Structure 1
Amino acid sequence: MGRYDFRPQRVFQTASQLLAVEHSARRATPPPWFDIVAKTPPSQVLIRPLQRTQPARRGRKPSRLFQPMPIVYPEDKLRAEFFGDHPWELARPKVVLEGDGNDAMHWDWSRIQQPGKRLDGESVVQRQFWLMQYQGLGKNEAYDKARKEFYKYRHLEDIERRVANEEAQATGAYFGPGPLEYGMKLEDRKWEAWKKWATKEIEQRKQLESAVYSGSETDEDSVDAPADPEALGEEPEEPIAAV
């Protein structure tokens, strides 16, 4: 076939000839792609034109003309400030599934609570941006107002959850260990494993020290006690009488 393979461009021509032959053993009906290839034939250009570029000179920075522009939204700074003050809000599970793709168009941020949307950090950001845009409040003032509303409704949610838990337990419901109980269990298990490791290390050090030391132990009482002259075979000195 030479350097280039032209068989892919002849697929339509070959299929047309096979379909035109009477009593052919192949398919009598055209394949699904037959009409599409007839309307949009493949390209005749098999190679890409070579683009020669001159090497950049040393000390000259490349042009930034063809670099994409950064996409910046006004809510980005507000979002960074809120989650910087409340990092644990990022640990809460969040549902990113949308209904018709235009859920945000049905929300009215004149209030922080929205029907069908869970209260989260994004609610504070959108509420703050709405206060700055439509009520003319400053950044800090709008942040304080939206944050206090968020604390209020989050506190009410915690109270409702606690009351529902107590009512369920009063009617005989049983709940498994929570995050705190599970964390304490893991901590106790780690503590017991560390105690076993520490005991083993102490025993190994004692065995190593006893193997290195080769001296004989002496009784401290025999070393500190004064020598007995009778035991040494000497006569004790008589005390000098006072004149």
Structure 2
Amino acid sequence: MIFSQGVKPLRVYKETAQLLRLGILGKEPPWYQVVASVPPSTILIRTTPVEFDKPPQDNSKAVGKNVKKKSKRFFRPRNIQYPEDDLRKKFFADHPWELARPRILVEDSGNDSLSYDWSKLQQPGRAVDGESVVQRQMWLMEEGNGNLSKSAAYDVARKEFYRLRMRSDIERRIAAEEARSVGAFFGKTHLQIGLELEEKSLLAWKIKAQEAVAKRQQRIEAMANPGSIDADVGDEDGATDPPGLASTPEARTSPVEPSNPQGP
């Protein structure tokens, strides 16, 4: 039997009974008598069991009063908000490319940041990233000198972050120059590879554009001089008159007698 989607369990038994009564089904399904004796419940929520230890309460006062309904948000998890969430949102909104840098997400525990001394931004064994700026800002707001405000602590941590990033970039460039001086070869950078791919795409687009412009120009010329097309077609088919032959209709239709050099 095929029933429509969303059919109720009790309706399956009723429709099966009707099919048996009409003779469409030859015999009862194995579950027919079980469902008849124990009908399926239409309520899918488990009810609260009766508590026998507590004495029965008098609910006569509650009769006629509106029963409070549970809110629809009762089963939703509670929103957990940390102070660092707003600081992270601000930093990564100002520095979106920091999200493209590789990061190490493995931690020994959820409180690894508490084991560092955030009185300074750079920590031993830890790369400087956006989370370092957030923790440094939190330290300046809570334990720094004068308990700086949110914006002031952000400016201090941000400047320290810029200084460390510039120093690391300078060290990287110096190391690359020293390696090239002794014969190292690094190949093309990601920026150079991207520029080459972009130039190749632009060149392919330029060729297609030139072909499209040439075809459009041909269509414009054909619409301006429609007779030139017929002449070109005639030249290609070989239907033009040979040189020396008149182009009149009589010359085209009259046969040409072959010459007889020997005479009659």
Q: TM-score, normalised by structure 1?
A: 0.62
For 1:195, the equivalent position in structure 2 comes to 206
2:83 maps to which of 74, 81, 85 = 74
2:140 maps to which of 123, 131, 134 = 131
Contact 2:113 2:135 in 1 (8 A): no
1:51 maps to which of 45, 48, 59 = 45
Deviation at 1:190, TM superposition (A): 1.3
CA distance in 2, matches of 1:100, 1:48: 46
Question: What is the SS of the residue equivalent to 2:131?
Answer: helix
* Aligned partner letter, 1:145: V
CA distance in 2, matches of 1:150, 1:84: 16
Q: Which moved more, 1:91-100 or 1:201-210?
A: 91-100
For 1:114, the equivalent position in structure 2 comes to 123
Deviation at 1:62, TM superposition (A): 5.1
2:105 maps to which of 90, 96, 109 = 96
Q: 1:63 to 1:50 in 2, by over 3 A?
A: closer
Question: What is the SS of the residue equivalent to 1:108?
Answer: coil
2:92 maps to which of 83, 91, 96 = 83
Question: What is the SS of the residue equivalent to 1:69?
Answer: coil
For 1:137-156, what aligned pairs fall within 5 Å after superposition? 137-156=148-167
Deviation string for 1:90-110 (max 9, x for gaps)? 111112123566533422211
* Aligned partner letter, 1:132: M
| % identical equivalent positions | 50
Deviation string for 1:105-136 (max 9, x for gaps)? 42221111112211111110110011111121
* Aligned partner letter, 1:97: V
Q: 1:95 to 1:127 in 2, by over 3 A?
A: same
CA distance in 1, matches of 2:213, 2:195: 27
CA distance in 2, matches of 1:78, 1:139: 9
CA distance in 1, matches of 2:171, 2:74: 56
CA distance in 2, matches of 1:74, 1:158: 31
Q: 1:89 to 1:50 in 2, by over 3 A?
A: closer
Deviation string for 1:147-204 (max 9, x for gaps)? 0110111111011101100000001000111122112111211121111011111111
CA distance in 2, matches of 1:121, 1:198: 45
Q: 1:73 to 1:90 in 2, by over 3 A?
A: same
In the alignment, structure 1 residue 161 sits paired with structure 2 residue 155: no
For 1:57, the equivalent position in structure 2 comes to none
Q: Which moved more, 1:60-69 or 1:124-133?
A: 60-69
CA distance in 2, matches of 1:96, 1:48: 47
Q: 1:100 to 1:122 in 2, by over 3 A?
A: closer
CA distance in 2, matches of 1:216, 1:208: 13
CA distance in 1, matches of 2:218, 2:70: 67
Deviation string for 1:65-90 (max 9, x for gaps)? 33221121111111111111111111
CA distance in 1, matches of 2:44, 2:205: 66
Residue segments in structure 2 that go unaligned for 5+ positions in a row: 1-29, 32-40, 48-68, 229-264
For 1:232, the equivalent position in structure 2 comes to none
* Aligned partner letter, 2:45: Q
Deviation at 1:61, TM superposition (A): 10
The CA RMSD over aligned residues, in Å, is: 3.0
For 2:182, the equivalent position in structure 1 comes to 171
* Aligned partner letter, 1:98: E
Residue segments in structure 1 that go unaligned for 5+ positions in a row: 4-46, 54-59, 218-243
Deviation at 1:211, TM superposition (A): 2.1
Deviation at 1:142, TM superposition (A): 0.3
Deviation at 1:48, TM superposition (A): 11
